[in-house]
Amino acid sequence: MKIGIILGGSDIERQLNNPVTRETIGVLRTRGVEVDLIKPLLMSYKLFDLKVSHDLYVIKSIASPAAASYGAALHALGAPTFNPYPIVRQIRDKIVTLRLLSEYGVPVPATYVGTDPESLVPLLEDGPLMIKPYMGSRGIGVERVSTREELLRVDHPPPLLAQRYHPSDEGLDHKISVIGGEVFGVKRIFPIRVYSDKTGTPLEIDDETRGIAAGISNALKIDTFSFDIVVSRGKSYVVDVGSFGSMMGVPDAPTLVADRIVRAWEERAVNV
């Protein structure tokens, strides 16, 4: 079995320093799986030489345009992927994802789309907003604004995504990881200050959170992903979804992720 892992973040070394990613690769290799790390951001290649050369691809990220194009080209050529490219691409677009989640009854904050900061100013009459890049990731560019002056200082290309701000009851976010349908969680600060903050502290998963995870899975048609919940005044709000989160803080995450990847290949082999 030969797997290609597409590392498409803007900081590839940071991705490789993720202990879950690094150890998952190790688990796969100890099982005899040949693992290639594909780094489109650092690659120069003859386009017509690009072909499907692995039994399965795992898309860790397509945050960089180079990785997005590489993944799209492989998908167009019929490449088998653990997390299908169209879904990964869809999740990158918060406008599409949040609308779909709301359609499936997943609790998300009231969300608005604007052409420029001025167009969103009237929304401040009802309280602060969280302004986000609609194609953002890792919390980069997320800003809380309470006044017109703060909002007009926002420097994101359109369309602008604004969500109603809901302060966390505990001052912490709930980072939920779903691996093959199993749900895990940690509490952690946002934004994280240092990389180790990603580990957080264990969170007991209640029935409400399991139900939210099931709703997201049904909406996105995947069973391995991550999402962030803010509990405000006792009510849960999903404020972000990732197609393949860090999974840090999940007990034995490398083995669980490796198991799910191998199972995906086995399922595909049976269905071919």
pLDDT per residue as tens digits for the range 174-212: 999 999 999 999 998 766 665 556 677 889 999 999 999
Q: Are residues 184 and 102 in the same domain?
A: yes
Distance CA 92, CA 128 (A): 24
Inside any domain, residue 223: yes
Nearest CA among 165, 84, 177, 81 for reference residue 131? 165
Same domain, 98 and 75: no
Which among 1, 11, 136, 112 is positioned nearest to 56, based on CA atoms? Answer: 1
pLDDT confidence of residue 199: 73
pLDDT digits (tens, 9 = 90+) for 19-40: 999 999 999 999 999 999 999 9
Residue 261 and residue 159 share a domain: no
CA atoms within 13 A on the CB side of 263: 11
The reply to whether 138 falls in a domain is: yes
Same domain for 183 and 238, yes or no, is yes
Query: CA 60, CA 21: separation in Å to the nearest integer?
Result: 9
Q: How far apart are CA 231 and CA 180, in angstroms?
A: 25
Show the tokens assigned to 84: 């299908």
**Under 8 Å between Cβ of 239 and 5:** no
Show the tokens assigned to 8. 């498409």
**Residue 88 belongs to a domain:** no
For 106-133, the pLDDT digits (tens) are 999 999 999 999 999 999 999 999 999 8
> Are 24 and 119 part of one and the same domain?
no
188 and 204 belong to one structural domain: yes
pLDDT at 14: 74
- Give residues with Cβ within 8 angstroms of 272, minimum separation 6: none
Residue 56: give its domain's CATH number.
3.40.50
Distance from CA of residue 124 to its chain's centroid? 28
Question: Which residues are CB-contacts of 80 (< 8 A; sequence separation ≥ 6)?
Answer: 52, 55, 56, 57, 265, 268
Does some domain include residue 260?
yes
227 and 99 share one domain: yes
Query: Within this chain, do residues 63 and 148 fall inside the same structural domain, yes or no?
Result: no
CATH of the domain at 222: 3.30.470.20
Tell me: do 101 and 173 sit in the same domain: yes
Number of domains in the chain: 3
At a CB cut-off of 8 Å and minimum separation 6, what does 186 contact? Answer: 174, 175, 199, 200, 201, 202, 203, 248, 249, 250
pLDDT digits (tens, 9 = 90+) for 235-260: 999 999 998 888 988 999 999 999 99
Could you tell me if 24 and 46 lie in one domain?
yes
Cis bond before residue 251 (omega within 30° of 0): no
Residue 21: its pLDDT value, please? Answer: 92
Kindly state whether residues 78 and 7 are assigned to the same domain: yes
What mean pLDDT is predicted for residues 139-164? Answer: 91
Last residue of a domain, one of 164, 189, 208: 164
CA-angle at 135, arms to 195 and 73, nearest 5°: 100
Percent above pLDDT 70 for the chain: 94
102 and 217: one domain?
Answer: yes
Domain of 181, in residue numbers: 94-107+168-242
